[in-house]
Amino acid sequence: MKREKTIREADEKQKIINHLSRLEGQIKGVKKMVNEDKYCNDILVQLAAIDKSIKSLSRTVLNRHMQTCVLEQIKEGKDEVINEVIELLKRFDL
């Protein structure tokens, strides 16, 4: 059942790439803080922000996934995609 490709529009793709680049930058920032012995509370505030940012990106990609791939596959009779979604939600603790 597993699909190999998801063709995203250039604009949408760029937004996701930008979001991931920002995340990379944030992680580099935390590394610098640890190297400079910054106060743990401040490091944890940054880690919480990174966590929120990943959750937000995941939500964007998940919603798009459901509105396109999941819908299409069900219409093509590939009902098992619903179980794939259920497995995925479990990974996000739902």
Instruction: Please report how close the Cβ of residue 75 comes to a copy of itself at its closest, in angstroms.
Output: 7
What is d(CA 82, CA 30) in angstroms, rounded to the nearest whole number?
38
Instruction: Please report how close the Cβ of residue 60 comes to a copy of itself at its closest, in angstroms.
Output: 10
What is d(CA 55, CA 24) in angstroms, rounded to the nearest whole number?
15
What is d(CA 60, CA 34) in angstroms, rounded to the nearest whole number?
30
Instruction: Please report how close the Cβ of residue 10 comes to a copy of itself at its closest, in angstroms.
Output: 11
Question: Under the criterion CB under 8 A, does residue 56 sit at the interface with a copy of itself?
Answer: no
CB atoms near residue 81 (< 10 Å)? 20
Binding site for a copy of itself (CB under 8 A): 2-8, 13, 16-17, 20-21, 23-24, 27-28, 30-31, 34-35, 37-45, 47-52, 54-55, 57-59, 61-71, 74-75, 79, 82-86, 88-94
